[in-house]
């Protein structure tokens, strides 16, 4: 006749469960439920077909895995909270500063306007076109060869025929070539950070008329 095996792991399991059950009568967490099920299984095992060492060890390993995952999740949540708090402090320090962020808007005021372009890679030829509210090109700026990265630019308000453009809103487009291949280029709008909000999309900067933008979208700070 087979007999019930008395393993060291089983003894430790019963001791651990009894200690936890006495010290923690509140609602059980997943580890407690798992442990309780295993203890119950061992108490009611068939004497003619008892659990072997491999089964007990395997289930104990599962308990350790569940516990490890829960601790990892708690650690990650704590780290995420710390990162969010750090981003909020960083963003708050930007209030009042001017920034370049993705956008095509260009505001001409007092005969001058600031904008920028961002190139994914170096280009042999970069051209910027400034358009008025009706979509008519008023100036084309040939920037020649440029390195990859963000490039701040200014417009003095002069049109292609040499006249002075009226103050107001304009838009900018950019084209860039490397050899005969198009280079991924993005226009950047200039604005001032007026506030900071935190929502489902994380920390957002309020850049006045340009709207909200994320910290990662800021290309340059002035």
Per-residue confidence band for 16, with pLDDT thresholds at 50, 70 and 90: low
Say what the pLDDT of residue 58 is: 72
Say what the pLDDT of residue 15 is: 57
DSSP-derived secondary structure for 143-157: EEEE-SEEEEEEE-S
Q: Are residues 107 and 130 in the same domain?
A: yes
Q: Is residue 132 a part of any domain in this protein?
A: yes
Range 103-108 average pLDDT: 96
Number of domain units in the chain:
2
Q: Is residue 109 a part of any domain in this protein?
A: yes
Q: Are residues 217 and 110 in the same domain?
A: yes
The model carries a pTM of 0.63
Q: Are residues 108 and 202 in the same domain?
A: yes
List the domain range (segments joined by +) for residue 191: 98-221
Q: Which has the higher per-residue pLDDT, 180 or 29?
A: 180
**What percent of the chain is modeled with pLDDT above 70?**
66
Question: Residue 101's closest CA among 88, 114, 113?
Answer: 114
Facing residues of 150 across strands? 118
Residues 6 or more apart from 57 whose CB is under 8 A from it?
Answer: 9
Q: Are residues 189 and 113 in the same domain?
A: yes
Q: Are residues 112 and 212 in the same domain?
A: yes
pLDDT, the chain, mean: 80
Say what the pLDDT of residue 4 is: 42
| Tally: H helices and E strands in the chain | 3, 13
Q: Are residues 105 and 87 in the same domain?
A: no
Q: Convert the pLDDT of each residue in 26-58 to its tens digit.
A: 445 666 776 677 677 767 766 666 666 666 667
Residue whose tokens read 């700026």: 141
Q: Are residues 67 and 148 in the same domain?
A: no
CB atoms inside a 10 Å sphere around CB 217: 16
Q: Convert the pLDDT of each residue in 115-169 to its tens digit.
A: 999 999 999 999 999 999 999 999 999 999 999 999 999 999 999 999 999 999 9
Q: Are residues 41 and 113 in the same domain?
A: no
Per-residue confidence band for 96, with pLDDT thresholds at 50, 70 and 90: very high
Q: Are residues 16 and 88 in the same domain?
A: yes
DSSP-derived secondary structure for 179-191: TTEE--EEEEEEE
Q: Is residue 2 a part of any domain in this protein?
A: no
Q: Are residues 117 and 217 in the same domain?
A: yes
**CA-CA-CA-CA dihedral for 60, 61, 66, 69, to nearest 10:** 150
The two structure tokens encoding residue 60 = 């104990």
Range 5-9 average pLDDT: 46
Question: Residue 171's closest CA among 129, 143, 123?
Answer: 129
Q: CA–CA separation, 177 vs 63, rounded Å?
A: 59
The two structure tokens encoding residue 180 = 């005969």
């Amino acid at each position: 006749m087979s007999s019930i095996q008395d393993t060291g792991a089983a003894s430790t399991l019963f001791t651990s469960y009894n200690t936890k059950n006495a010290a923690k009568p509140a609602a059980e967490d997943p580890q407690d439920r798992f442990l309780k099920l295993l203890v119950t299984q061992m108490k009611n095992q068939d004497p003619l077909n008892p659990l072997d060492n491999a089964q007990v060890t395997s289930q104990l390993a599962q308990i350790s895995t569940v516990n490890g995952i829960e601790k990892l999740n708690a650690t990650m949540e704590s780290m995420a909270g710390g990162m969010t708090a750090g981003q909020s402090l960083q963003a708050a320090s930007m209030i009042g500063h001017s920034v370049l962020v993705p956008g095509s808007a260009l505001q001409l005021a007092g005969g001058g306007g600031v904008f920028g372009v961002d190139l994914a890679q170096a280009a042999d030829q970069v051209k910027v076109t400034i358009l008025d509210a009706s979509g008519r090109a008023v100036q084309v700026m040939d920037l020649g060869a440029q390195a990859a990265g963000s490039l701040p630019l200014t417009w003095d308000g002069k049109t292609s025929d040499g006249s002075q453009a009226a103050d107001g809103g304009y838009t900018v487009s950019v084209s860039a070539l490397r050899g005969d291949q198009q280079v991924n280029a993005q226009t950047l709008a200039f604005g001032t950070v007026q506030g900071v909000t935190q929502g489902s999309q994380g920390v957002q900067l309020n850049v006045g008329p340009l709207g909200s933008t994320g910290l990662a979208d800021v290309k340059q700070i002035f």
